[in-house]
Amino acid sequence: MDLLRNAVRPYAWGSRTAIADLLGRPVPAPHPEAELWLGAHPADPSLLVGEDGSETSLLDRLTEDPTGQLGPDCAGRWGGRLPFLMKVLAADEPLSLQAHPSAAQAAEGFAREEAAGIPLDAPNRNYKDPNHKPELICALTEFHALAGFRDAHRTLELLKSLEVPALRAHIELLAAQPDADGLRALFTTWITLPQPALDKLVPQVLDGCVAHLRDHGPFDRECRTALELAEAYPGDAGVLAALLLNRIVLHPGEAIYLPAGNLHAYLHGTGVEIMANSDNVLRGGLTPKHVDVPELLRVLDFRCGDVPVLRGDAVGHLTAYRTPAPEFHLSTLDWTSESGDVEGEWIDSAGPQILLCTAGAARLTTADGRRLDLARGQSVWVAAADPSVLVEPVGLAECGRVQLFRATAGVA
């Protein structure tokens, strides 16, 4: 059981307050801070902090002792790799419109780009590894996102309500096939429009959004989102594509799971994210980074409908977010002063665990008597070889709430 020191990724869309506040550093931070990485991704592995203050890379520890750290089942199944990456994601501006490949698509794409001799750090490289990247985001604050294609009939209502003559042919295209095939046809049409055509169509659609808002139409949030995206990325095909996606608002404790092929963009808010330990992203717009439209179309899943909002299954103080992903499992440990229940929770796993304290403070005690206190923003690595851990809230009456996020490999 070791304290972790984790890397902060300073992407331009990040917040200057959320991660700094969580870590107890001065606010605002000097530059945007987008993601806090907890895990053993080669690009930025966490560091294990010893009692004497020494630091050891978690990646190196796994290389030296994969079975003791991961457990025999996890080490064998994932080749000695930690199969998940946990993040705190803090978005003040929208992320790119993107999707992730399936396991088969990732393996094929990685092999293809390796054979083509494209360097791993090349800006036009799509596949950085041969792995898929399913992910789950659980909201810490109100969290806004676009995810998955909306039901085609509902999208037809939205497009018609804008009353834009230039959209007539596009509406007819979808109306002829109000299903996944029709959405594929319409999305492909929009994402491949020449820039001069986009420069004519997008402003007309935005004018329709403004009129819709002025008339208090039923698609207020969708129209506001299109206008906000267009302000940040004028003339971008992603502005049109956003009109095809579910507009989701998560409240704290709610989550969504994004499987392979799900087109999505996080818009604003802070959440804890867990994913398979991969860096494969296919972008479709709303970004200055590399966009590969043919490759994106190859991996997209155009099935439409609502994206389920997960609220977790609660047993005692533990709430588990179930997904089909074998690489990861996310749960929370939660105590509030209102409940008056301060009884601790024993946790154990046949595999590795990462615990992150996001509210209050907690005391961790192993079955053999080792003890470690976690303050808000601190995290701990629990190796598979470690005995069971008792997690107890500290100072609950004063702080009002103690919360920890727990990442494990597969179903705990």
pLDDT tens-digit profile of 365-384?
A: 998 899 999 999 999 999 99
The answer to whether position 10 is within a domain reads yes
Residues 18 and 97 in one domain: yes
The answer to whether position 373 is within a domain reads yes
The answer to whether position 42 is within a domain reads yes
Compute the distance between CA of residue 68 and CA of residue 195 in angstroms, rounded to an integer. 55
Work out the mean pLDDT of the chain and round it to a whole number.
96
What is the domain count for the chain?
A: 3
Compute the distance between CA of residue 32 and CA of residue 60 in angstroms, rounded to an integer. 29
Residue 326: CATH number of its domain: 2.60.120.10
The answer to whether position 104 is within a domain reads yes
- Residue 256, domain extent: 2-146+249-293
Residues 181 and 213 in one domain: yes
Cβ atoms of 379 and 49 within 8 Å: the answer is no
Name 109's Cβ contacts closer than 8 Å, sequence gap at least 6.
101, 126, 127, 280, 295
Residue 240: alpha-carbon gap to chain centroid: 22
The whole-number pLDDT of residue 51 equals 87
Residues 272 and 220 in one domain: no
Mean pLDDT of 19-36: 97
The answer to whether position 278 is within a domain reads yes
Residues 142 and 258 in one domain: yes
Q: Which is catalytic among the residues 283, 298, 370, 371?
A: 283
Among 244, 268, 283, the domain-final residue is 244
Compute the distance between CA of residue 383 and CA of residue 385 in angstroms, rounded to an integer. 5
Residues 73 and 104 in one domain: yes
Residues 206 and 138 in one domain: no
SS3 222: helix
Residues 34 and 77 in one domain: yes
Residues 342 and 286 in one domain: no
Mean pLDDT of 129-145: 96
Element housing 231 (H / E): helix 220-232
Is 283 assigned a catalytic role? yes
For residue 237, how many C-alpha atoms fall within 13 Å in the half-sphere facing its CB? 19
Helix 168-176 crosses helix 152-161 at what angle (to 10 degrees)?
160
**What is the identity of the amino acid at 285?**
G
Residues 282 and 253 in one domain: yes
pLDDT above 70: percentage of residues in the chain: 100
The answer to whether position 78 is within a domain reads yes
pLDDT in tens, 305-334: 999 999 999 999 999 999 999 999 999 999
Please tell me the pTM assigned to this model.
Answer: 0.95
Question: How many residues does this entry show for the chain?
Answer: 412
Residues 205 and 322 in one domain: no
Give residue 281's pLDDT band: very low, low, confident or very high (50, 70, 90).
Answer: very high
Number of neighbours of residue 193 by Cβ within 10 angstroms: 16
Element housing 8 (H / E): strand 7-9
The answer to whether position 306 is within a domain reads no
Compute the distance between CA of residue 239 and CA of residue 148 in angstroms, rounded to an integer. 15
Q: Structure tokens of 175? A: 């109306």
Residues 220 and 206 in one domain: yes
Q: Structure tokens of 367? A: 């079955």
Residues 121 and 40 in one domain: yes
The answer to whether position 308 is within a domain reads no
Cα–Cα separations (whole angstroms), residue 369 to 244, 252, 372, 383: 55, 34, 10, 16
